[in-house]
């Protein structure tokens, strides 16, 4: 005969598993979940710089680029669990190289740890329109 406390524990465990399944299923997708992985030129990992979180804003989150970024055009990426890079849709960053320049990036797609990489690693012509959508 099964003890009543064992049945109660099994029910609680089943309830907890159901609850966790619902929470995980309702978690928002991240940019890397939506966008296909991109192939980048060798050396991009050494050049990638993580954006710095500035907080939530209505409709998204604000991030700023490190002040050490050289003048140039950058794209925002998000790595998936395996480390593969994914472009964050419609996110381009231009650094003009002005002393004290603060480059703020507003991202409407949920991201965990966005990074910026120089467009040269994509083989992208910066004069062409953004096609990462």
- Could you tell me if residue 16 is inside a domain? no
**Residue 71 CA to chain centroid, in angstroms?**
23
pLDDT of residue 11: 55
Q: Is residue 88 part of a domain?
A: yes
Alpha helical stretches, state H, 29-68: 31-34, 44-47
Write the DSSP symbol of residue 109.
S
In a domain, 17, yes or no: no
**Which pLDDT belongs to residue 108?**
93
Q: Is 12 left (phi over 0), alpha (psi -120 to 50) or beta?
A: alpha
Report how many domains make up the chain.
Answer: 1
- Whether residue 14 is contained in a domain is answered as no
Residue 103 falls inside a structural domain: yes
Q: Range with the lowest mean pLDDT among 14-18, 67-71, 98-102, 106-110?
A: 14-18
Is 1 a member of any domain? no
Give the pTM.
0.66
Residue 15 in any domain: the answer is: no
Residue 56 located in a structural domain: yes
Under the banding of pLDDT at 50, 70 and 90, the label for residue 90 is: confident
Give the C-alpha separation, 57 to 94, whole Å. Answer: 21
Structural domain boundaries enclosing 83: 31-121
């Amino acid at each position: 005969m099964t003890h009543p406390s064992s049945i109660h524990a099994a029910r609680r465990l089943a309830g907890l598993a159901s609850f966790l399944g619902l929470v995980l299923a309702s978690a928002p997708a991240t940019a890397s979940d939506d966008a296909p992985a991109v192939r980048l030129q060798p050396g991009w990992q050494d050049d990638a710089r993580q954006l710095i979180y500035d907080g939530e804003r209505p409709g998204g989150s604000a991030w700023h680029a490190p002040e050490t970024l050289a003048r140039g055009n950058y794209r925002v990426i998000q790595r998936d669990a395996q480390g593969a890079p994914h472009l964050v849709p419609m996110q381009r960053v231009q650094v003009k190289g002005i002393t004290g320049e603060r480059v703020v990036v507003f991202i409407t797609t949920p991201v965990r740890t966005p990074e910026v990489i120089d467009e040269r690693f994509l083989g992208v012509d910066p004069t062409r329109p953004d096609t990462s959508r």
